[in-house]
Structure formats: C-alpha cells, structure tokens
Amino acid sequence: MKNYLNFESNIKELEAELDSLKDPFNKEGLTEVNTNKISSLQEEIDSKLRDIYSNLDPWQKTLVARHEERPKSKFFIDNLFSDFILLSGDRYYGEDKSVIAGFGKFKGMSVLVIGQEKGDTLDTRIERNFGMMKPEGYRKTVRLMKLADKFNLPIILFIDTPGAYPGVGAEERGQAEAIAKSIECCMELKVPTISVIIGEGGSGGAIALASSSKVLMLENAIYSVISPEGCASILWRDPKKTLEAATAMKLSSKDLLELNIIDEIIEEPVGGAHRDKDKILNNVKISIEKSLVEFSDMSREDVFEKRKNKFLSMGRSKGLYSSGKNKDKLVLQTNIVNEIIQKFNTNKINYIVLIGIIIIMVLFGLLI
C-alpha cells in the first residue's frame, strides 16, 4: 500500500482509479481494460505530480525527505557496491547499528562506504535507532576512515539522520566529543570524501560525516542545524509554525547550493525518489562517478588543500574577509550602520547634546 503525503490527496484518488482500470477483475466480474483511458489518466497523474513537486515549499520538501518509502542508505549500498564487507565496532564500547560501514568496490574501485540507516520497517527502525547515531557509531566511522586514509582509498558517505542520539547514555559516553572527533578526522583526511545527503541531514549528527571534499544532495533532501519543528518551538514558541521555520532556515538543496554549502544537486524522479528507485539509483551513481574522476589525478596534498580551502571560503562573501597575508584567518567585516549605533550608545550624552545644539541652530537660522 502506497503512503501519500497530505498535499498528494488528488494524486491518491487518481492512482486509485488507475489501479482499478488496470485490474481486469473487479467486484462486478470480468471487464475490458481501457488502454486509452489508462494512458490519459497516467498523463494526468504525471502532469499533476510535476506541478506539485515543482512548487514544493520548504516544509513540504521536509515531508518528502522523511517519506517512509524513500530509498535508504542500505538500498544504495546494496545496489551500487560489489564485494561489500561489513565492519563493526568502535574498539572502545560496542557496535552501533544506526550506521552501516565497510569496504567494497564501486565500478571496480576499492572504497570505504559509510551510510546512516533509518530502517524500512518498525522492527528495523528500532534496531537502527531511527538513524540516530551514538558515540560508538561515530568512533567506528573514525576508525574506518583512518584505515581508508592509510591505504589511500576514497570514502563515500550516505547521510540520512534526524540528528545524533540525545540519550543520557550517549551523553555519558561523550556524544559531543565523538562528533567533534569525527569532524576533525574528516577534515584531516588526504583521500577524497564524497557525502551524499539522501534524506534528512540533521544537525551535528549529519555534519560529523558531511565535512567532505564534495557534498552532493538529492533534490528533495534537507540539510539543517535543527528540525523545523524544533526551530519553530524555540523562535515562535509554536511548533505548528513549521513552514515559517523551514523557510527561514534555508534547508532545501536549492538554497544550500546558492550559499555554497553543498556542491551539487542530484535530480530526483517526478514525485520524489521513492517513486522511481531505479532512476535515482542511476543518478546517484553518475554523480559519485563524476566526483571520483574529479579527484583521480590529484595528489594527497592537493585533495587535502582543496577540502580545506572549500570550507575556509564559506561565509567570506557574507561578511568575512581574509586578514593580511594569512588567508586562513578570517575577520568579520565592519558594518557601518552597526558601528555608528555602537558609537552612539557609547557616547550617548555627548551625541544628544550635539544633536540638540544643531537643532537649535537650525531653528534659529529659520527664524532669522
């Protein structure tokens, strides 16, 4: 049974009618299949899907990114990589099943594959902790990323998480430190790292694995520092203001590409990735292959420098600039209006007296 989002009610009705037309056996007995009407109805469905999905607002994109039937990391790993060998454990505490990690081959090339996995059924979602990684998960990925770096193997990561697990046990085992170490490890690697945001990219839980040489993002995926519901609860004190929050957060692939946070948008089939998994699989495959080719002729030092410069360049056009000869050091540009306000607040009495004198002189001049 298909799952429909709240803005797909018209599509649900049309597809129900289409299914009944395709079925030659119904309650009234044997009937003829009307191929002309089927074709006409399918065209109408495709047209409505194009109209709906070309005008999705940020909150609707969030719902698509969370769709139950959306392809998960395991789907991509099973279908894109051969000779995959699953590796487990962080060698400190235990195993975290919310992240799949191991070595495999992509078009004959040995790579490390890491994927945050939410699960497809209720049982697997519970087993995978709904894609929320624990400290042992991040430490496992750090261990394997360092191993891949040692053997000069590219790393491909699939991002799909609402955020890192916030449980008491996770905090006791050093969740924040584990995330920080994962980000540090990603930035120090001298092999190409390609992150693909396939669903939700939630907060530090996603950034820990998305600090990569290239960040690719599915068209209807989201990437943000907090969920729209969480943002709405904090800023508006109203969790129902999800549309306002999602819009303000600029969490869509289009917004993030304009801000240079991501490097490429991977086009999804009409109606979302869940409607044509073969097509999205092929699109992701092409994008990963293209990204790997980009780094194929680079030295380890060049790969490292390219990643470093990419992240250092973020924000420089939005109020930051390089200071002196040290281009790695960023200084906040001075805002003239804010500077005037700050000086006024510092010497408020003197400025008030000065303004008063000027007003009196102007009035006196007018009277004369």
Give tens-digit pLDDT for 333-349. Answer: 555 555 666 666 667 67
Question: Given a cut of 60, is residue 319 above it in pLDDT?
Answer: no
Which pLDDT tens digit goes with each residue over 294-315? 999 999 999 999 999 999 888 7
For residue 27 the two structure tokens come to 């309650």
Evaluate whether residue 279 is within a structural domain: yes
The per-residue pLDDT for 16 is: 81
Q: Is 1 within the bounds of a domain?
A: no
Q: Do 23 and 70 belong together in one domain?
A: no
Rounded to an integer, the average pLDDT of 215-244 is: 91
Is 358 a domain residue? yes
CATH of the domain at 273: 3.90.226.10
Residues 85 and 118 in one domain: yes
40 and 173 in a single domain? The answer is no
- Residue 187, in any domain of the structure: yes
Question: Do 101 and 214 have their domain in common?
Answer: yes
The model's confidence at residue 33, banded by pLDDT at 50, 70 and 90, is: low
Helix (H, G, I), strand (E, B) or coil at 112: strand
Per-residue pLDDT averaged across 7-15, rounded? 84
Once rounded to an integer, what is the mean pLDDT over residues 95-121? 95
Is there a single domain that holds both residue 226 and residue 160?
yes
Confirm whether 314 is domain-assigned.
no
Average the pLDDT over 23-30 and give the result: 56
Average pLDDT for residues 110-129, to the nearest whole number?
94
105 and 22 both lie in a single domain: no
Angle between the N-to-C axes of helices 58-65 and 228-235, in degrees from 0 to 180, rounded to the nearest 10:
140
pLDDT of residue 126: 94
Lowest mean pLDDT among 2-16, 17-31, 65-79: 17-31
Note whether residue 303 is domain-resident. Answer: no
Higher pLDDT, 322 or 147: 147
pTM (predicted TM-score): 0.81
Helix axes 175-188, 300-313, angle to 10 degrees: 120
Banded model confidence at residue 266, pLDDT cuts 50, 70, 90: very high
What's the confidence (pLDDT) of residue 34?
66
Q: Which residue has the tokens 């999602």?
A: 246
- Residues pairing with 324 in the sheet: none
**Same domain for 352 and 281?**
no
pLDDT tens for residues 55-68? 899 999 999 999 99
The count of structural domains within the chain is 3
Q: Cβ contacts of residue 39 below 8 Å, gap of 6+?
A: none
DSSP SS3 for 216: strand
Mind listing the pLDDT tens digit for each residue in 161-193? 999 999 999 999 999 999 999 999 999 999 999
Q: In the prediction, which pLDDT does 30 show?
A: 47
The residue among 137, 147, 166, 159 whose CA lies nearest residue 210 is 159
Residue where one domain finishes, among candidates 250, 274, 297: 297
pLDDT tens per residue, range 73-90:
999 999 999 999 999 999
pLDDT digits 0-9 by tens, 321-334:
555 555 555 455 55
User: What single string gives the DSSP state of each residue in 117-130?
Assistant: ---SSHHHHHHTGG
Residues 183 and 256 in one domain: yes
Same domain (yes/no): 120, 233: yes
Q: Is residue 329 part of a domain?
A: no
DSSP 219-287: TT-EEESS-HHHHHHHHTS-TT-HHHHHHHHT-BHHHHHHTTSSSEEEPPPTT-GGG-HHHHHHHHHHH
> Bigger pLDDT: 18 or 76?
76
Query: Is a pLDDT exceeding 70 seen at residue 121?
Result: yes
Question: Going by C-beta distance under 8 Å and a sequence separation of 6 or more, which residues neighbour residue 326?
Answer: none
Are residues 346 and 276 located together in one domain of the fold? no
Percent of the residues in the chain that have a pLDDT greater than 90, as a whole number:
62
Q: Which residues pair with 223 in a beta bridge?
A: 201
Question: Is the confidence at residue 29, as pLDDT, over 60?
Answer: no
User: Could you list the residue range(s) of the whole structural domain that residue 71 is in?
Assistant: 64-297
Return the pLDDT at 354: 81
| Residue at 307 is within a domain | no
- Which residue, 297, 316, 351, sits at the end of a domain? 297
142, 207: one domain: yes
One-letter identity of residue 175: Q
Specify whether 113 is located in the same domain as 201.
yes
Q: If you write DSSP's letter for every residue of 154-211 in order, what string do you get?
A: -EEEEEEES-S---HHHHHTTHHHHHHHHHHHHHH--S-EEEEEEEEEEHHHHHHHH-
Average pLDDT over residues 261-280: 93
Q: What is the mean pLDDT of the chain?
A: 87
